[in-house]
Structure 1
Amino acid sequence: MPLDASMRMPDLATTGSPMRVVRLLAAAGDEVARGQPILEVETDKATMEVESTVAGRLVAIAVEVDDEVLAGQLIATFAVESAGAAWVAPAAKLAPSHPAPAEDRTARASAAASPASDRPSFFARNRARRSVQPTSSKRASLALSLAGRVVARRMQEIKRTVPHFYVQASANAGGMVRRRDAAEGPRPAWDAFFVVAAARALREHPRFAHRYDQEKLVPHGGGAIGVAVDLDDDLYTITVDDPAAKEVERVSAEIREQVDQLRSGDPKARQPRPASMTVSNLGGSGVESFAAIVNAPEASILAVGSVLPAAVVESGGIFVQDRVRLTLSVDHRVAGGKAAAAFLHAIVRGLESF
């Protein structure tokens, strides 16, 4: 005679953070093998499949898409054959006060069985949720995505614990403008110039490729440079490996490829990778200059404004020149003002050499 068995949410190393259910991969009535994925959840690090720890007929799934779950929470019940069945915790009773209509159950089963290509991406689902207008007379609160909540916690913690200071400079952007205009194929992304210049400046100033760790400086990131990317109001960082040894056009192609992977909802693209520093560019949003928050444990972040024509005095004359304003935010535990100024001027020299 079949026995009821329950499955609880495993610990996916999320340090206690809630996980959001992204997809149901099985439906009530399915025969499920041990190790077969039954859910897909979004953690604070990646999108992951949750594999069944029970072999048997799935009686009910206790969660729905967009629900938040914690490690140890009941997520499914099964009917298992007693003969040879591994011990599992007794099932908690799933007794919804209003059973789902038959058509709802059919729809959920169909959604669980449909291929990934037929379902909207993670970002499309985010857009759909945010486009829903509140129906009450009072405006509803705006719910943050899991990624948004993680960023909020990190930024608050970083500003509280990392002593920031800022140095500013501007660079002649004429060479970058001409190189973009002369491109025979796709024009290099603006970010690529700043990534390459920052990486080459790191070679001259390796102190900034370290992180502060318990009263000592530890190498970090191996010279890789991160690029801040905003997609659907969620902030991510992609990483370019060894850009100092690459041409701007190649770095540009790598950046665009990784952004496309992010837009597609590829979970691997969302997994953070270490970098020595990050570039954050709001020039395309019409921002002349700003100061960014260091992406700890990195030691610095370069904030890039718009490329704009500016009057410049040279050799007693006034000329109009394309220029860009830069702000370098620095962890004061890693470096002081003089070192930061030298590092920023090395970045400026790199930008003006294109």
Structure 2
Amino acid sequence: MRFEMKMPDLATTDSEIRIGRWMIEPGETVQRGQPLVEVETDKAAMEVESVVSGVLVEIVSQVDDAVSVGDVIAVFEVADSAKSGSMRRSAPEAQPSVAVPAAAESTPRVAEGAKGGMFARKRAATTPGGDEGVRLTVAERTAGKRLQESKQTIPHFYLQTRFKASAIIARREAAASAKLTWDAFFVRATARAMGRFDRFRHRLEGDRLVPLATLAVGVAIDHAGELFVIPVVEPADKSVEEISAEIRANVERLRGGDSEARMIRPAAMTISNLGVCNVESFLPIINPPETAILGIGKVAPCVAVREDGQLGVEPCGTLALSVDHRVAGGRYAAEFLDAIVRELESA
């Protein structure tokens, strides 16, 4: 018996749903609940699961197609006893060939043993030079669109400074069993500084500054080559231990394939830490609709003034603050960055 699978309601309000990549191909057998296709909205990249067990006969909605809730996206051959509220019988017709159509050859396929959204990418169409390209994932395309929009519409300016990391290092060593993450210190310092600088708790709408709906601080995470931002909720009122545990738990959810962890959730500001990659400093791109983003470089020995007033060698880290110049001016942003440094140095 042939059934048509419809696009389910993803609770995305009126946002457009776009097909990202199919994880199986025509002719393959799927089980009920198995991830079938990755889709993209303006809020998230998520997986849609198969609602029945059977053989995929036809992919109706191709990669990059825009679809609506209720549109038929795929056709299955299932046992007569299969039941699903999201499926309906299609008109009787001859059994089609299950050979992979040309359009499906360039769609990514889930890798054997893959989990947590880590899918092998099939090679896409061959370029005139003979080299084969690789299709971007839904998450990569979503991030690319947002960051391209940011650079094209937000007048960035950048401030850079250093901070002495001795206090953080001592705190981490004293709480070795807790395994405090570096990001927890940056999240808390940023949140506390935001509490004293009102403009960084607002976003620009037309010619008005509108209060942000959240005071969460996002942590940029690279997972399987894709960029995600994990928000830490109300971090100014939490201890470093609590923030560290929250970050670790959310990262584990992301690695475990939790679809909710892959959703785009709002934050007031984002931090991006490339220090672990041996990067000294970089200028990050603001994540809309946020007003600023903090880039963090590696910690390394530097010449600094010690507490006794003498010059000495201390571990220092670098910070780069990217700011929307429509929202904050240079001096205001500089004082905000200095407040972050003071929080870090008194951790």
Q: So what's the TM-score if we normalise by structure 1? A: 0.77
1:76 has 2:78 as partner:
no
Q: Alignment partner of 1:18: what SS?
A: strand
Residue 94 of structure 1 deviates from its aligned partner by 6.6
Q: Alignment partner of 1:120: what SS?
A: coil
User: Higher helix share goes to which structure?
Assistant: 1
Q: 1:213 aligns with which of 205, 210, 229?
A: 205
CA 1:216–1:183 in structure 2 vs 1: closer, same or farther (change >3 Å)?
Answer: same
CA distance, structure 1, for counterparts of residue 251 and residue 59 of structure 2: 31
Residue 49 of structure 1 deviates from its aligned partner by 3.3
CA distance, structure 2, for counterparts of residue 199 and residue 92 of structure 1: 61
CA RMSD of aligned residues (A): 3.8
1:240 has 2:232 as partner:
yes
Report the counterpart of residue 326 of structure 2 in structure 1.
Answer: 333
Q: Alignment partner of 2:180: what SS?
A: coil
CA 1:162–1:68 in structure 2 vs 1: closer, same or farther (change >3 Å)?
Answer: closer
2:211 alignment partner AA:
P
Q: 2:36 aligns with which of 24, 37, 40?
A: 40
Structure 1 stretches lacking a partner, 5+ long: 31-35, 101-117
Report the counterpart of residue 137 of structure 2 in structure 1.
Answer: 145
Contact 2:121 2:134 survives alignment (8 Å):
no
Report the counterpart of residue 107 of structure 1 in structure 2.
Answer: none
Give 1 or 2 for the bigger CA radius of gyration: 1
CA distance, structure 2, for counterparts of residue 341 and residue 194 of structure 1: 17
Report the counterpart of residue 59 of structure 2 in structure 1.
Answer: 63
Residue 194 of structure 1 deviates from its aligned partner by 0.3
Q: What per-residue deviation string (whole Å, max 9, x for no partner) do you get for residues 98-155 of structure 1?
A: 499xxxxxxxxxxxxxxxxx95314442xx43799x9xx9431132211111111111
CA 1:88–1:347 in structure 2 vs 1: closer, same or farther (change >3 Å)?
Answer: same
Report the counterpart of residue 104 of structure 1 in structure 2.
Answer: none
CA distance, structure 1, for counterparts of residue 48 and residue 186 of structure 2: 37
Report the counterpart of residue 226 of structure 1 in structure 2.
Answer: 218
Residue 209 of structure 1 deviates from its aligned partner by 1.1
Report the counterpart of residue 18 of structure 1 in structure 2.
Answer: 19
1:21 alignment partner AA:
W
CA distance, structure 2, for counterparts of residue 90 and residue 15 of structure 1: 28
Which 10-residue stretch deviates more, 43-52 or 206-215? 43-52
1:120 has 2:114 as partner:
yes
CA distance, structure 1, for counterparts of residue 100 and residue 147 of structure 2: 42
Q: Percent identity over the alignment?
A: 38
CA distance, structure 1, for counterparts of residue 319 and residue 261 of structure 2: 28
CA 1:348–1:92 in structure 2 vs 1: closer, same or farther (change >3 Å)?
Answer: farther
Q: What per-residue deviation string (whole Å, max 9, x for no partner) do you get for residues 143-198 of structure 1?
A: 22111111111111111111111112211111001111121413311101000000
Report the counterpart of residue 112 of structure 1 in structure 2.
Answer: none
1:263 has 2:255 as partner:
yes
2:161 alignment partner AA:
A
Q: What per-residue deviation string (whole Å, max 9, x for no partner) do you get for residues 30-64 of structure 1?
A: 9xxxxx86863322214343576xx9x96753139
CA 1:273–1:9 in structure 2 vs 1: closer, same or farther (change >3 Å)?
Answer: closer
Structure 2 stretches lacking a partner, 5+ long: 102-111
Q: 2:156 aligns with which of 161, 164, 189?
A: 164
Report the counterpart of residue 191 of structure 2 in structure 1.
Answer: 199
Contact 2:275 2:298 survives alignment (8 Å):
yes
Report the counterpart of residue 281 of structure 1 in structure 2.
Answer: 273
